[in-house]
Structure 1
Amino acid sequence: MLPGFGLTMGFTLLYLSLLVLIPLSMLFWKTSSMPISKIWSTVTDDRVLQAFKLTFGASFCAALFNVFFGGLVAWVLARYRFPGKRLIDGLVDLPFALPTAVAGICLVTVYSQNGWIGRIVEPHGLKIAFTPIGITVALIFIGLPFVVRTVQPVLEDMEAELEEAAASLGATRLQTFLRVLAPPLAPVMLTGFTLAFARALGEYGSVVFIAGNRPYKTEILPLLIITKLEEYNYAGATAIALVMLISSFALLLAINVLQAWSRKRQGTV
Structure 2
Amino acid sequence: MSDAATAPRGPAWPGGVRFRRPSALPGFGLTFGFAALYLSLIVLIPLAALVLRASGLGLDGIWRIATMPRVLAALQVSFGLSFAAAAVNAVFGLVVAWVLTRYRFPGRRLLDAMVDLPFALPTAVAGIALAAIYAPNGWIGSLLAPFGIKVAFTPLGIFVALVFIGLPFVVRTVQPLLADLDREIEEASATLGATRRQTVLRVVLPSLLPAVLTGFALAFGRAVGEYGSVIFIAGNMPFRSEIVPLLIVIQLEEFNYAGATAIAAIMLAIAFVSLLAINLLQAWSRRRFGHV
Range class of TM-score, shorter chain: over 0.9
Residue 11 of structure 1: aligned partner: 34
Instruction: Give the unaligned 5+ runs of structure 1.
Output: none
Matched, 1:107 2:135: no
2:268 is matched with which residue: 245, 249, 255? 245
Cα deviation for residue 258 of structure 1 reads: 1.5
Residue 158 of structure 1: aligned partner: 181
Matched, 1:181 2:195: no
Cα deviation for residue 255 of structure 1 reads: 1.3
Residue 84 of structure 1: aligned partner: 107
Please give the alpha-carbon distance, in whole angstroms, between the structure 2 residues aligned to 1:185 and 1:267: 9
Partner AA of 2:117 in structure 1 = L
Residue 193 of structure 2: aligned partner: 170
Matched, 1:215 2:201: no
Matched, 1:127 2:158: no
Cα deviation for residue 267 of structure 1 reads: 5.3
Q: Is the 8 A contact 2:173 2:211 kept in 1?
A: yes
Cα deviation for residue 35 of structure 1 reads: 2.9
Residue 255 of structure 1: aligned partner: 278
Please give the alpha-carbon distance, in whole angstroms, between the structure 2 residues aligned to 1:267 and 1:119: 47
Cα deviation for residue 265 of structure 1 reads: 2.4
Partner AA of 1:185 in structure 2 = L
Cα deviation for residue 164 of structure 1 reads: 2.5
Indicate the SS of the match to 1:218: coil
Structure with higher helix content: 1
Please give the alpha-carbon distance, in whole angstroms, between the structure 1 residues aligned to 2:159 and 2:289: 33
Cα deviation for residue 163 of structure 1 reads: 1.8
Q: Tell me the alpha carbon deviations over residues 159-212 of structure 1, each in whole angstroms, 9 at most, x when there is no partner.
A: 223222322322112110122102211111111111111110000000000001
- Give the alignment's TM-score, normalised by structure 1: 0.97
Partner AA of 1:13 in structure 2 = A
Matched, 1:143 2:166: yes
Q: Is the 8 A contact 2:161 2:230 kept in 1?
A: yes
Please give the alpha-carbon distance, in whole angstroms, between the structure 1 residues aligned to 2:219 and 2:73: 22
Please give the alpha-carbon distance, in whole angstroms, between the structure 1 residues aligned to 2:218 and 2:148: 33
RMSD: 1.2
Please give the alpha-carbon distance, in whole angstroms, between the structure 1 residues aligned to 2:291 and 2:125: 48
Partner AA of 2:51 in structure 1 = F
Matched, 1:23 2:39: no
Matched, 1:195 2:218: yes
Cα deviation for residue 134 of structure 1 reads: 0.4
Cα deviation for residue 36 of structure 1 reads: 2.3
Please give the alpha-carbon distance, in whole angstroms, between the structure 1 residues aligned to 2:290 and 2:230: 41
Partner AA of 1:168 in structure 2 = T
Query: Compared with structure 1, are the counterparts of its residues 266 and 120 closer, same or farther at alpha carbon in structure 2 (3 Å cutoff)?
Result: closer
Q: Tell me the alpha carbon deviations over residues 222-248 of structure 1, each in whole angstroms, 9 at most, x when there is no partner.
A: 000000000011111111111110111
Q: How many residues are matched?
A: 269
Please give the alpha-carbon distance, in whole angstroms, between the structure 2 residues aligned to 1:217 and 1:122: 20
Identity %: 64
Q: Tell me the alpha carbon deviations over residues 10-52 of structure 1, each in whole angstroms, 9 at most, x when there is no partner.
A: 1111111111011000001101111322211111110110001
- Tell which has more relative contact order, 1 or 2 (C-alpha 8 A, sep 6+): 1
Partner AA of 1:22 in structure 2 = I
Query: Compared with structure 1, are the counterparts of its residues 268 and 146 closer, same or farther at alpha carbon in structure 2 (3 Å cutoff)?
Result: closer
Residue 69 of structure 2: aligned partner: 46
Partner AA of 1:98 in structure 2 = L
Query: Compared with structure 1, are the counterparts of its residues 9 and 163 closer, same or farther at alpha carbon in structure 2 (3 Å cutoff)?
Result: same
- Give the alignment's TM-score, normalised by structure 2: 0.90
Residue 55 of structure 2: aligned partner: 32
Query: Compared with structure 1, are the counterparts of its residues 3 and 56 closer, same or farther at alpha carbon in structure 2 (3 Å cutoff)?
Result: same
Please give the alpha-carbon distance, in whole angstroms, between the structure 1 residues aligned to 2:172 and 2:81: 22
